[in-house]
Structure 1
Amino acid sequence: MSKRTLLRPLALASLVANIGLVVTGAAVRLTGSGLGCPTWPRCTDASYTTTAEMGVHGVIEFGNRLLGLALGVIALACFVAALLERPRRRSLVLLSLAVLLGIPGQGVIGGITVLTDLNPWVVGLHFLLSMALIALAYALWKRTAEGDGPPRRLVSAPLATLARLTALVSAAVIVVGVIVTGSGPHAGDENAKRNGLDPELIAQAHADLVFLLIGLSVGLWFALRAAGAPRPAIRAAGILIVVELGQGLIGFVQYFTHLPVLLVGAHMLGACLVWVATLGVLWSLRERPATTPAPPATPTPSATSATSATETTEPVATPVA
């Protein structure tokens, strides 16, 4: 496999691993293992790894930390692969570097969550940084299949604006969902505090935003079809609607069944999938063709005529009287 083709699967692995980190982080919280390693960066005051005395909670929390290290290795491999590309593409180097620098940042915030006894606002920031890293990893993966030319919009300006509004509401749904989680019962430890907000009130605001998001997504799908948008854009909008409906169903069932652990974990995975599907819609509305060398300049017609007259002038025979 050439260096050129190596970056793309590495970028996809980075995207999948970042989503996996969210899922394992959910497992940490939902099993009450948030303080399975009660300190940071060590797991205990005397050991960087979990010990037998810490039981299953220590294993779960330490496993999540190990996945963070694996994520850093993948991000470093992406950065090296981007540097080794020939020709080297500045955009890929910068994107891979951003993902790489986000990993230690994520680790530091994770450490702060432990040192603050799982403060719900810090835990929420930890999750939102994962969403940002997912967006960066997705952009890196998509850019590996694109050219170096300037981006070109494939739909009209109003449709592009509607898509951006849909993405903004999608982000708002995720943010408010984080606040809902911080007000609920799954704190990651039985002694961890919650944010003190009314869970029912925040959950209602979250549901209202979900309805708005689904309405915008359906409207975008119909608008793309009516405008004759490219098929990939219509398909991406359709996938977003399907993912949103599945995520909404899980959300309502978990709410009315009093937040069972498995459904809450599935809902957090669904949040990542909704975010990725949202990004897919935005990327489907533009393209970035490969740059091509400028064609050689052609001489003007006047210059061509003058040159031809000069080159083809021959002596004219003089008639004999």
Structure 2
Amino acid sequence: MPKVRLPALRPMALASLIANIGLVVTGAAVRLTDSGLGCPTWPKCTDASYTTTSAMGVHGVIEFGNRLLGIALFVITLACFISAWRQTPRRRRQVRLSVLVLLGIPGQGVVGGITVLTNLNPWVVGLHFLLSMALIAAAYALWRSTEEGDGAPVFLVAAPLRHLTAVMSLVSAAVIVMGVVVTGSGPHSGDNGAKRNGLDPAAVAQAHADLVFLLLGLTAALWFAFRAVHAPRAARAALALLVIELSQGLIGFVQYFTHLPVALVAAHMLGASLVWTGTVAVLLAIRDRPELAAPAPEQPSPATEPVSTSL
């Protein structure tokens, strides 16, 4: 049965995914320009104003701009929910995913407020970033679901490859988490007075690099394996992820040996979002969801069949 596409929801879901990634980049700009306390309180920007003032300078503009993007993102995700709710027939999975993303946006705002109120505690800042990664995963799943059916998942590869994909995904998540730890030990704190996590930057950076090498090996192995079992969609997703990882790894090494220039750190933050998006893409590419089969028409029972009375 041909798949049903959802033309209204699909571009909105893609816009939500792009905006969530954009929020990570603007958040990086806040941290890298020492604008983390550009609005020193929350939910207001100052004690007397919800918006930035001329006295806050450029740091206030950057921080307040990031907050405005969060509002725009909420509007986009609200449009996704309305579109998912109004589609005919209504698909519960799209509604659930859109609600998940929608509720995550104010949650992200609350965590962002806590980062300000705790004077940019590095662990809270890290949680703020990880919540963005969760929202990116949900937004991608919503976008992907718009070209799938509503049937039960059908796996396209054997169990060993599914297990290897799961291991790769866990290692990718570990790379992201360790990257957060590295960031919390480094110099770009978001404000000159913000504390660091106290860990040795060289040691945590080495642990991060070791996980990256493991991730590269697992992704390459998946690419070869998917090609061997003739799973083209999964192979394309794995190859795309491998290219992203290699690019991200190159940026990471260059930024480390050039003492973390702001432009490269921002590119690395964007790369982290793309690595995670690519990971979710591989995870979802190993299965499909067919359309639900239409119910078979009821056949009349023998007891209800008309009886001939002719002689």
User: Normalized against structure 1, the TM-score is what?
Assistant: 0.91
Cα offset, 1:149, TM superposition: 0.8
**AA at the equivalent of 2:100:** A
Measure, in 2, the Cα distance between the counterparts of 1:284 and 1:264.
30
The worse-fitting range, judged by mean Cα deviation, of 85-94 and 23-32 is 85-94
Tell me how far 1:283 sits from its aligned partner: 1.3
Corresponding residue for 1:251?
252
- 2:117 & 2:52 partners in 1: Cα distance? 17
Decide which of 23, 26, 41 is 1:21's aligned counterpart: 23
Contact 2:6/2:147 (CA < 8 Å) preserved in 1? no
The answer as to 2:199 corresponding to 1:203 is no
Name the counterpart of 2:124. Answer: 122
Aligned residue runs from structure 1 range 171-250, under 5 A: 171-229=173-231, 231-250=232-251
Aligned to 1:57: 59
The one-letter code matched in structure 1 to 2:243 is V
Percent of aligned pairs with the same amino acid: 71
Cα deviation, residue 228, structure 1: 2.2
**2:273 matched to 1:272?**
yes
The yes-or-no answer on 1:260 pairing with 2:250 is: no
After superposition, the C-alpha distances for 1:169-189 in whole angstroms (9 at most, x for unaligned) are 000000000000000000000
Higher mean displacement: 179-188 or 232-241: 232-241
Deviation string, structure 1 residues 63-88 (Cα, Å, up to 9, x no partner): 00000000111111111111111111
The 8 Å contact of residues 72 and 103 in structure 1, kept in 2 or not, is answered as: yes
Gaps in structure 1 of 5+ consecutive residues = 316-321
Q: CA deviation at 1:247?
A: 0.2
Q: Distance in 1 between matches of 2:7 and 2:45?
A: 38
Q: What SS is found at the alignment partner of 1:5?
A: coil
Contact 2:84–2:94 (8 Å) recurs in 1:
yes
Q: Contact 1:118–1:187 at 8 Å: present in 2 too?
A: yes
The one of 161, 164, 167 equivalent to 1:165 is: 167
Give the letter for the 2:40 counterpart.
P
4+ long deviations beyond 4 Å = 296-299
Displacement of 1:295? 3.5
* Match of residue 134 from structure 2: 132
Identify which of structures 1 and 2 has the higher relative contact order when contacts are C-alpha pairs closer than 8 Å and 6+ apart. Answer: 2
**Partners of 2:17 and 2:128 in 1: how far apart?**
17
Distance 1:103 1:62 in 2: 16
In 2, the alpha carbon distance for the partners of 1:266 and 1:292 equals 46
Unaligned runs of 5+ in 2: none
Q: Which of 81, 84, 87 is the matching residue for 1:85?
A: 87
Letter in 1 for 2:290: P
TM-score, length-scaled by structure 2: 0.94
- Aligned Cα RMSD in Å? 1.9
Q: Distance in 2 between matches of 1:262 and 1:278?
A: 24
Aligned-residue offset at 1:298: 7.7
> Do the aligned partners of 1:131 and 1:272 also contact (CA within 8 Å) in 2?
yes
Structure 1 residue 4, shift from structure 2 partner: 4.3
Q: Which moved more, 1:53-62 or 1:285-294?
A: 285-294
Give yes or no for contact 1:254–1:260 (8 Å, CA) kept in 2: yes
**Deviates further, 265-274 or 220-229:** 220-229
Residues 281-320 of structure 1 aligned to structure 2 (within 5 Å)? 281-296=282-297
State whether residues 4 and 86 of structure 1, in contact with CA within 8 Å, keep that contact through their aligned partners in structure 2: no
